[in-house]
Amino acid sequence: MSRKGWIVWGAIVGATLALAWTRSMAQAPASEAFVARIELNGPIGPAAAEYVDSAIQRATDDGAKAIVLQMDTPGGLLESMRDIIAGILAAKIPVLGYVAPSGARAASAGTYILYACPIAAMAPATHVGAATPVDIGGRTPMPAPLDNMAPSSSKSSDKAGNAAADAESNKVLNDAIATIRSLAQMHGRNATWAEQAVRGAATLTASEAVAQHVADFVAPDSEALLAQADGRTVRINGGNITLALRGLPLRDYPPNWRARFLGIITNPTIAYVLLLAGIYGLILEAFHPGSFYPGVAGGICLLIGLYALQLLPVSYAGLTLMALGVALLLAEVFIPTAGVLGVGGVIAFVLGSIMLFRTDVPGYSVNLGVIAGLGFCAMALLAMLLRLVMRARRARAFNGDEQMLQNTGELLQPVTAGGEGWARIGGERWRVRSEAALPAGTQVRVIGRQGLLLRVAARRTGEGESS
């Protein structure tokens, strides 16, 4: 191996050893007791679930006495919420749920997570509740109101038409109620209000939550949280533990690079843009083979976008409509339909984009401004292409016999009657034949063509040149 190769291998090995040493030092347990803090901010999705799970595991391995799960979330995806709850219940050390700072909320999925924590605390001016589950279609499975005034035939038809949807909604609703009631019973909290939060989207402020035994106490900051939790007995993994947390330092556990990366790509707008960048990159590579850069970048973006989509609640009807829209736009390039395919493609693309993440879960929908901007750009590009096509159809031919018969030129040498010679026509030298004798320098016009031989005649006086 060359000297340069040894240097490269040495650098790789050195970087690997340095990274391993850094990670071992970072994961080494501290000699003094501490409390870990995990901040769960924003919508709850796959990235948040993975972050909480890995942070709980790292804090446990580092020897933390407890974990403060500080929340400020509008809710999120059902499966991600269940993963976080499973991690809290399986934790070997107590997890203190803390809705903070002031002005924060633990709404929807955040309510379930707060109920799953052995200790539930809230900062002043925070609230909890509105835990009604929402499915991907955006329908809220609320109990149907009674209407005794409606005709019986109307009731029967409505009942028959919505039977399947109602059954599915009741399954989701009852499952959510059972989940939050079981969590409430596990930690001795208010199960009746928990059911109201799911069934009727009830909410409580911090002081109201403490009064109704939804939260254990109100704490203005993390130090006060640890002080008020000190001495309380909680149940962890089937056993009771008395907390001794007063005065312990807090150690933050921020997301690692993988959790940050997942948080970026699972943003629905980012995933949507990555998907489009991948599709159009591959299209550019197909139209310009050998350029490589669009194909490589498009392939990477497409794979990352598809990976993000399989983690998110995607509507496959919307994805199919987007694919149809792109196919119609490409067909417009090869099949002249005066814009029919192109306009249909733009409409299908925009509708599919809106339907792609059809959900009312906060933070999990594509920004409509991005969709509108892309749709407008597609329509502008289509209009420009149609305008260029129409101009090309109306333009005069630049070659062929029709254009050649309009050209004029000048003889470069004398031509005898019925003889041949050379002339400059349209800036080019052509072999010409004339039925009449013409001297050199005569202005001639083309009257016929036989292959590469042009038949010419003297241009009449007052006859202008063709442009």
Please name the residue that has the structure tokens 């679930």.
49
pLDDT at 266: 86
Mean pLDDT by 10 residues, the chain (467 residues): 54 60 48 88 90 94 94 89 94 94 92 95 94 55 39 48 62 88 92 92 94 95 94 87 92 90 88 88 82 86 89 84 86 75 86 78 75 84 77 63 77 90 88 91 88 87 51
**Confidence (pTM):** 0.68
pLDDT at 354: 85
Residue 433 near residue 456 (C-beta atoms within 8 A): yes
pLDDT at 184: 93
pLDDT at 149: 38
pLDDT at 393: 67
pLDDT at 459: 85
Coil, helix or strand at residue 424: strand
Distance CA 286, CA 254 (A): 43
Pairing of strands 453-458, 428-434: parallel
Q: Any residues with CB less than 8 A from the CB of 99 and at least 6 apart, and which?
A: 70, 71, 72, 105, 106, 110, 114, 121, 122, 123, 126, 127, 128, 206, 215
H helical segments located in 91-143: 109-116
Residue 312 near residue 271 (C-beta atoms within 8 A): yes
Residue 370 near residue 428 (C-beta atoms within 8 A): no
pLDDT at 113: 95
pLDDT at 139: 41
Report which residue type is found at 445: R
- Indicate the angle between helix axes 293-309 and 268-287, nearest 10 degrees: 150
What sign does the CA torsion over 176, 177, 182, 184 have?
positive
434 membership: H or E segment, kind and range: strand 428-434
